[in-house]
Amino acid sequence: MKNKPALSGGEPVREDFLIFGSPRIEQDEIAEVVDSLESGWLSTGPKVEKFEEAFKRYIGCKYAVALNSCTAGLHLSMIAAGIKPGDEVITTPMTFAATANSIIHVGARPVFADVELPSMNIDPAKIAEKITSKTKAIMPVHFAGRPCNMDSILDLSRKYNLLIIEDAAHAIEASYHGRKVGTIGDLTAFSFYVTKNIVMGEGGIVTTNNQDYADKIKIFGLHGLSKDAWKRYSDEGFKHYQVIFPGYKYNLMDMQAGIGLRQLEKVERYSRIRQSIWNRYNEAFKGLPLSTPADPEPNTRHAMHLYTVLLNLEDLRVDRDAIQQALFKENIGTGIHFVALNLHPFYVDNYGYKKGDFPNAEFISERTISLPFSAKLNQKDVNDVILAVKKVLRYYGK
């Protein structure tokens, strides 16, 4: 019974369930939330401003504007950059829906370009094939924390006069050829969702070296009120504001920013923990019917946000979903990153995408599974993941 999967009546590897992507929260983050509650300043306030300054220093950009999500950051980046109805924005189908949806929110059309293997990042050659007179921007997604081939994407942007708006939800620590992600494109949006490398529960930020873009995003993200309107209730004295744009409710709260300040202080320490887990997984999974993530490309830094393997389905008796369910019964939580967007009903029905359009993205879609991978994991957690993966894949191997 020891080697028999729990799904088939065996004993599970763990007694308690290992939640996928559970964040590491320590006492100093809790203290920041309590401090905000006691101060009475819960919404956008001085801690948001402090976090923007700290993140700007970490990335090395000129401007950083905090918002309530990466999705909001992508949306406002396109508005600030002048993307409008009828325009086209090229992006990858191997991403979360928020990437494409943010394009749709400004009235533009998301145009998908297939990804490369084994990087799983958008293929610059496929981007070039999709450029038309309507194309206004490229939105690369640094999948799992791996920087895209930005030299080739920059070449395309210069050749065709296209904006680069980067989705760096996975890529806080990433760098490419000596440049931090967040300083390369025209605008870059990061995420602080509960599973990300810096956690706020919800949250995002946009970095740019363009002051006009930064000013617009700050205004657009708080109802279109004049810049620094959040200070109107501070001890500096009440200030009248003006509405200069029909804006959005996208502002970050001080309670979130306080958590982010403490998390940012630990980002490199947590990165080293994930690197250690990454190495353990790579070594442990040798000889199993799966492909581990490709090594980082030369002169780049992989942010190592996700540890995503591809199952060798030809060597298994079941499909990916059955493997995921078997791991679930072993009390191991997993993720799927991602089912290609061209396979989802909305994009099929509204844009005519279909199965077969993006072979590499679809190959990944059928085989991908993300394993628990966060700084919160202890040695037993990692051992349990390894034991469960070996147990399940060996049982279902041909």
Catalytic (active-site) positions: 196
Asked if 255 and 277 touch (Cβ cutoff 8 Å), the reply is: no
Q: What is the DSSP letter of 345?
A: H
Task: Give the residue from 317, 298, 371 showing the smallest Cα distance to 151.
Answer: 298
CB atoms within 10 A of CB 26: 11
CA-nearest of 48, 67, 122, 55 to 89 is 122
Instruction: Give yes or no for a contact between 77 and 65, defined as CB atoms under 8 angstroms apart.
Output: no
Distance (Å, rounded) from C-alpha 332 to C-alpha 327? 5
Contacts of 294 by beta carbon, 8 Å cutoff, 6+ apart: 118, 119, 146
Residues 6+ apart with CB under 8 A from 311: 289, 290, 320, 323, 367, 368, 369, 393
> Hey, what amino acid is at 388?
A
